[in-house]
Chains A and B, each alone.
Chain A
Amino acid sequence: QVQLQQSGPGLVKPSQTLSVTCAISGDSVSSNSAAWNWIRQSPSRGLEWLGRTYYRSKWNNNYAVSVKSRITINPDTSKNQFSLQLNSVTPEDTAVYYCARGDIGIDSWGQGTLVTVSS
């Protein structure tokens, strides 16, 4: 049974960098059959897929067009976790951020982190 535990600040100032980490138990970030995603949810934007990282002989990333210039998702094999960094945030980036495992079907979700962008 995979479990995903998120951690990160709940308040970020405009123009700064949002960072959230997802610790994995019950699976490996280096798994050849899993993908590790970041998804956010807000009343104005609904559920929005942000990107993913996955290992298939080498590390790969896919990012949503809407955030591609500002996002980085990195795996950390030493700690079996992965992280989200979103640069130059604005109040529009205020949302609940979820980490999640899955490819087409997302079968495990973190508990969610409410991140508010405000000065």
Chain B
Amino acid sequence: ELKVEQNPLFLSMQEGKNYTIYCNYSTTSDRLYWYRQDPGKSLESLFVLLSNGAVKQEGRLMASLDTKARLSTLHITAAVHDLSATYFCAVPRAPGTASKLTFGTGTRLQVTL
């Protein structure tokens, strides 16, 4: 059974600081997704990582995927308050598709002024 774990579960950080969120998964997968969720809202797609070694950056967020280690990271550079949200990674149960996602536990990020 596929298990997806994130750490930390909660992260409080000051504006301007850097930090990394980790996502580990238990079975082989060729892809991984990162989403952002604001309170009371649905998911916003952040990154689609489709191969080993994939690295994508958008603004202050950068995501990477190591399929051999079954590990993805979401790095936050010089955090700002607007990044406060819950971040989820997700892995598809079947390789090669975006079907039947198993979500990580989520990391609630709070950026303080």
Decide whether A and B assemble into one complex: no
